[in-house]
Amino acid sequence: MIPSTPFLCVVTDEAFNPVTLAEKALEGGATMIQLRHKSASGSQLLFWALEIVRLCRLHDALSIINDRIDIALASNADGVHLGQLDMPARAARKLLGPSRILGISTSSPAEALQAEEDGANYIGFGHIFPTSSKERNSAPVGAETLAAAARLVTIPIVAIGGIAISSANQMISCGASGIAVISAVSRAENPAEAAACLLEAMRRGEQ
């Protein structure tokens, strides 16, 4: 269900067309695309989701929808990603059924452990470093906290928040199964090349 490690999740950036960004990220080897757009209408999200699901299948990658279980089901995406303030994981699992992927955002070892107990298939952990994409005014958790959470859970843990090519290998060394990025790919001069470089950096962290 979850791709082999290390894996790269590219989260769409609201400043760019998500389908175009997904296509470029997949060309570079991204193994998961997460459609995230807080201000789009439901019809627009569904249109994008259907296109991203199609592209992901062509590239043997996973399609994940942020927050919207209804869009995930309607587009036949592989799963959904929820935050701590969204629908509880156990309720989400009932709606999704047993076969779809459920990712949960966490920022502490205790939250990570609870997410696993509640039926998550993977954990998004962070934000590790300072990042402009966080709406909440919270401090970065850092690599040591990531490592502590990784020791507690048995499901894949995905580091997110301010991760760049220079820090991708450290995340794997700390026990993460992969990373999730936004600007490291979307704001790169060549998004496909940036995705490939992130994957290569993570592989060095496994050695």
List active site positions. Answer: 36, 105, 134
Pick from 5, 37, 2, 41: which is nearest to 21 by CA?
A: 37
158's enclosing H/E stretch is: strand 157-160
Give the number of other Cβ atoms within 10 Å of residue 20's Cβ. 12
Distance CA 80, CA 34 (A): 8
Distance CA 162, CA 138 (A): 13
Q: How does strand 62-66 pair with strand 157-160?
A: unpaired
Half-sphere exposure of 168 (CA within 13 A, CB side): 25
SS3 call for 136 = coil
Half-sphere exposure of 196 (CA within 13 A, CB side): 7
SS3 call for 165 = helix
Backbone angles phi, psi at 140, to 5 degrees: -60, 145
